[in-house]
Amino acid sequence: MGFFLETLLGGLMTGMLYALVALGFVLIFKASGVFNFAQGAMVLFAALAMARFSEWIPRWLGMEQGVISVLLSIVVSIVIMIGVAYAVERLALRHLVNQEPITLLMATLGIAYLLDGLGPMIFGSAVYSINVGMPKEPVFILEGLFDGGVLVSKEDLYSAIIAAVLVAALTLFFQKTKTGRALRAVADDHQAAQSIGIPLGRMWVIVWSVAGVVALVVGIIWGSKLGVQFSLSLVALKALPVVILGGLTSLPGAIIGGLIIGVGEKLSEVYLGPMIGGGIETWFAYGLALCVLLVRPQGLFGEKIIDRV
């Protein structure tokens, strides 16, 4: 039972990280109605900025690396991601208002390749590390209930808590604030939103900025675990099944989808892997998402689209 709980908790914590990555896709889709293929590139770009400024700022200011330098690096990285959002709106999205969704989709592909090239060109292409002070040693819990206790990674636990807080904050932002409601109106119909005075350009800057901050948090967490390297942009691919499972329009769906896939991956690898062979963790999420698509194309919590003729 202790080993099962250990596997279950590991899956839940990994699932929260998947949900955090998926939020970037959901945020952009809710505001523009288009799938953002640039989210993975944004994660890499933000992680590179954070890693390099955490090295440069102490050197520029003549101080040791510590809490202050980390906070300054985070602030500078947030400003950079807001600048990226502003540039995306001014140079691309502003010229594509009221265009077909496929046009916006291709624009996000172009933005992805541009960021993939700019990041290493500006910040370097080596493998960098990010250290924000999260403890990496494991800890044993519930030792009184189970022999030997349950092994939990402190880093994974802290990461899951950060992800949960950010998810809750974004959910409240979209549901309870005036800006959040305006963003949902923009996603439903660009022309109608403009006709009632909603500034489309400003809304897109806001949502891309929020998605950039989410990408920064994802980049810090995954960069701390895996190192900042080009393959970090591929982490976003792990969120695709989460988005399909939960629904492209649902923030709670991203959370629940992430938890389902995180737990499913861990349990299937541990209990089914020995019977059917290794590697099940790499394709389990995609197989589950495909099964959901066959039954409910809009995802478990996505809005059902009804076309009237």
The CB-side HSE value for 18 (13 A sphere, CA atoms) comes to 30
Domain annotation covers residue 55: yes
In this structure, how many other beta carbons lie within 10 angstroms of the beta carbon of residue 227?
16
What confidence score (pLDDT) does residue 80 get?
Answer: 95
Domain annotation covers residue 207: yes
Which residues of the chain, if any, have pLDDT below 50? 309
Domain annotation covers residue 249: no
Domain annotation covers residue 64: yes
In this structure, how many other beta carbons lie within 10 angstroms of the beta carbon of residue 72?
17
In this structure, how many other beta carbons lie within 10 angstroms of the beta carbon of residue 148?
11
41, 287 contact by CB (below 8 A): no
Enumerate helices (H) and strands (E) in the chain, giving the number of each. Answer: 12, 2
What confidence score (pLDDT) does residue 137 get?
Answer: 79
Sign of CA dihedral 175, 253, 221, 6: positive
48, 24 contact by CB (below 8 A): no
Q: How many domains does the chain have?
A: 1
Burial class of residue 236 in the structure, from the number of CB atoms within 10 Å of its CB (0-12 exposed, 13-18 middle, 19+ buried)? buried
Domain annotation covers residue 114: yes
What confidence score (pLDDT) does residue 52 get?
Answer: 93
What confidence score (pLDDT) does residue 148 get?
Answer: 67
The CA distance from 306 to 284, in Å, is 30
What confidence score (pLDDT) does residue 81 get?
Answer: 93
151, 6 contact by CB (below 8 A): yes
What confidence score (pLDDT) does residue 72 get?
Answer: 93
What confidence score (pLDDT) does residue 181 get?
Answer: 81
Domain annotation covers residue 301: no
What confidence score (pLDDT) does residue 57 get?
Answer: 92
Sign of CA dihedral 6, 223, 131, 21: negative
Domain annotation covers residue 78: yes
Domain annotation covers residue 268: no
Print the domain residue range for 57.
2-236
